[in-house]
Amino acid sequence: YRVAWIAARIGEELGLAGSTMQALIAGSFLHDVGKIGIPDAILLKPGRLDDEEMRIMRTHVSQGEEIVKGMGWLDGAHEVVGGHHEKWDGSGYPRRLAGDSIPLAARIFVLADVFDALSSKRPYKEPMPFERVMEILRNDSGSHFDPKVMAVFEQIADEVRDALQDASEPKARALLEAQIRKHFTN
């Protein structure tokens, strides 16, 4: 819920609306849907994946694209599903896209996803302090992240932090539901 809400907020600031915004929200929510095709032994492995396991794990992108493409209203989600591991400098996967070749929705999502991963408590880690998260994001702007998307995110970062700080799952869900009502009803 959190990462889809963050992506939608960035999208709003960039002027996304209508089917473009709907595709961003749906893709953000479904970005890892292809992981249903990854064996549990890999998904749940407590340690580092070896090269073969990593190769298999990376297939979740193409498996996810197959799931959402051709599914009517979910069809637009394929840009996020297929591009959420690409990096601005071309060092990502699966297609090694770079710069504006990466769909805007994927460029928005990847920033939202990394912000959420760094700033959220997980079973295996505590959240990083906000200032450290922002320092990491700034340092990776121009390599991992689209500098224009990062500039827009910086304008709303405090708002995002405040809205999600100590947010329970129901609160994060309510935030996303408000975005869904706003962008899917008309």
Q: Which residues are catalytic?
A: 35
Helix 147-164 and helix 104-119, axial crossing angle in degrees, nearest 10: 40
User: Which amino acid, 9?
Assistant: R
Compute the distance between CA of residue 173 and CA of residue 47 in angstroms, rounded to an integer.
30
Alpha-carbon distances of 99 from 87, 107, 123, rounded to whole Å: 8, 9, 34
- Positive or negative, the CA dihedral 149, 150, 154, 157 is positive
Could you give the 3-state DSSP secondary structure of residue 38?
A: coil
